[in-house]
A and B are shown apart, each in its own frame.
Chain A
Amino acid sequence: QQQVKQSPQSLIVQKGGISIINCAYENTAFDYFPWYQQFPGKGPALLIAIRPDVSEKKEGRFTISFNKSAKQFSLHIMDSQPGDSATYFCAASYSNSGYALNFGKGTSLLVTP
């Protein structure tokens, strides 16, 4: 049972555009929501994370928007660059589980020049 649903599965954006990836969850016990970026042949790398008491968090070109009532959160990549082309995973976890990550299925992002 997929606890975190992620969309779209793939995304093509032009250089300079905005990439938007959406995730939804059901378990209201989740209290930590990270996004990971993965390049081919590499392990996932933490990009940005948010807790549910915050509605938005920005780090450079990356922003997480969080809607607790809708149980949804999204990643916005502003001014997308070809170097951003990678697979992005949203995840959710909670402290009582030792922060075991429940991942979405991933979004393959391609930023064209």
Chain B
Amino acid sequence: KAGVTQTPRYLIKTRGQQVTLSCSPISGHRSVSWYQQTPGQGLQFLFEYFSETQRNKGNFPGRFSGRQFSNSRSEMNVSTLELGDSALYLCASRAGGGQETQYFGPGTRLLVL
């Protein structure tokens, strides 16, 4: 099976702009989670989508949002970008149900200038 894919891989934006990142999970997986990775804060959970519904949310401001489509693909949106949003954004795919293993994509590197 193909792994988790994320697009784009790199992105440069300026403060105040918004950005949309995309994630395609492993075929058959119904759960998609998003994580932010920064040198200072490490890996932090943003939110999880399962069958098009947000099931769990981390401690991030409302500027961070997401959605999941019927084919399980997911998008994450960040509005009114701040310098501190510069990070590697990782998507993780999980089969769902009682399957706990999460498989990560390569990430999208976002730089906010």
Q: Do the two chains belong together in a single complex?
A: yes
Residue ranges of A at the interface with B (Cβ–Cβ < 8 Å): 32, 34, 36, 41-46, 49, 89, 91, 93, 95, 97-106
Q: A100-B45, A101-B102, A103-B44 are in contact. List 7 more A-B contacts (CB 8 A).
A: A32-B100, A43-B104, A43-B107, A100-B58, A101-B35, A101-B92, A104-B42
Nearest residue (CB) in A for B45 is: A100
Measured in the bound complex, the distance between the Cα atoms of B105 and A88 in whole Å is 16
Nearest residue (CB) in A for B99 is: A99
CB contacts (< 8 Å) of A104 on chain B: these are 42
Which residues of chain B in 79-94 are interfacial with respect to chain A, using CB atoms and an 8 Å cutoff?
Answer: 90, 92, 94
Q: A34-B101, A43-B4, A44-B90 are in contact. Are A101 and B107 (CB under 8 A)?
A: no
Measured in the bound complex, the distance between the Cα atoms of B44 and A46 in whole Å is 17
CB contacts (< 8 Å) of A41 on chain B: these are 106
Nearest residue (CB) in B for A2 is: B42
Question: What size tier do the contact residues of chain B reach?
Answer: 20 to 34
Q: Contact between B4 and A49 (Cβ–Cβ < 8 Å)?
A: no
Measured in the bound complex, the distance between the Cα atoms of B35 and A93 in whole Å is 14
Q: Contact between B42 and A106 (Cβ–Cβ < 8 Å)?
A: yes
Cβ-closest 8 pairs across A and B = A43-B104, A103-B43, A98-B56, A99-B100, A100-B45, A105-B42, A32-B100, A98-B48
Q: Contact between B102 and A99 (Cβ–Cβ < 8 Å)?
A: yes
CB distance from B34 to the nearest CB of A (A): 10
CB distance from A42 to the nearest CB of B (A): 6
Q: Contact between B42 and A98 (Cβ–Cβ < 8 Å)?
A: no
* Contact among B33, B42, B101, B107 for A100, CB-based, below 8 A: B33
CB contacts (< 8 Å) of B92 on chain A: these are 101
Nearest residue (CB) in A for B4 is: A43
CB distance from B59 to the nearest CB of A (A): 9
Measured in the bound complex, the distance between the Cα atoms of B50 and A88 in whole Å is 27
